Amino acid sequence: MSTDLMNRDELLSALDQEMRKVSAQSVLFSQAVAEQLGINSTDLECLDIINFSSPITAGRLADLTGLTTGAITGVIDRLEKVGYVRRERDPNDRRRVIIQPLPEAAQKISPLFDSMAQAMSKLYSSYSDQEIALILDFATRSNSIVLEEIAKLQGKEEAEAGEN
């Protein structure tokens, strides 16, 4: 159904549904990328962070992902084994492990996003600056709502635990 035939309620519930799809599908996309790279989704998420915030320590990666340091040791072991990262000792604090992304990782990952980037770029070109700004504003405001609601849910948990 074309959007100009929809009344407001229909528009809103359609938008709800599409936003839900956005997240479901990007999970699927990540899984497909991970599979192409021969790693699991957790390791890909970590690899993304490592590439984006390099240099990064194992402990910082644990903080950012919410995984335990024990789990992170496993992540780095696996990523190192397939040659995507390298462990390096921090010379200033030799307890620390700095995770260095290797060029091999970026070289294998980039092309997997090329086609997507092109298609999205084409989509963007059909919108004016003002329209992009509107969409960006909507996304930003949605995100801050969701962030707040996550906090409320997690707060509820602690509150109930505290009651006991």
Partner DNA sequence: GTAAATACTTGAGATACTAAGATAATTAGA
Partner DNA sequence: TCTAATTATCTTAGTATCTCAAGTATTTAC
Instruction: Give the interface with DNA as residue ranges (CB under 7 A).
Output: 40, 42-43, 57-60, 62, 66-78, 87, 92-97
Name the residue nearer to a copy of itself (CB basis): 91 or 162: 162
Does 154 engage in binding with a copy of itself (CB under 8 A)?
yes
Contact assessment for residue 102 and residue 83, using Cβ atoms and an 8 Å cutoff: yes
| Closer Cβ to DNA, 91 or 128, answer by number | 91
Find where tokens 């992170």 sit: 72
Rank residues 90 and 149 by Cβ distance to DNA and give the closer one.
90
Distance CA 46, CA 69 (A): 13
Max Cα separation, the chain?
65
Least distance to DNA, CB of residue 35, Å: 11
DSSP 13: H
Determine the residue type at 96.
Answer: R
In the bound complex, what is the minimum distance in angstroms from residue 86's beta carbon to DNA?
A: 11
Q: How far is the CB of 127 from DNA (least distance, A)?
A: 37
CA–CA separation, 117 vs 158, rounded Å? 41
86 binds, among DNA, a copy of itself, none (CB under 5 to 8 A by kind): none
Helix (H) or strand (E) holding 163: helix 129-163
Our CB check for DNA shows the closer of 68 and 100 to be 68
Nearer to a copy of itself, 54 or 118 (CB): 118
Phi-psi map region of 66: left, alpha, beta (phi>0 left; psi -120 to 50 alpha):
left
**What CA–CA distances, in Å, run from 65 to 15, 40, 96, 145?**
29, 14, 18, 21
Q: What are the residues binding a copy of itself (CB under 8 A)?
A: 3-4, 6, 8, 11-12, 14-16, 18-23, 25-29, 32-33, 35-36, 112, 115-116, 119-120, 123-124, 127, 129, 131-143, 145-150, 152-154, 156-157
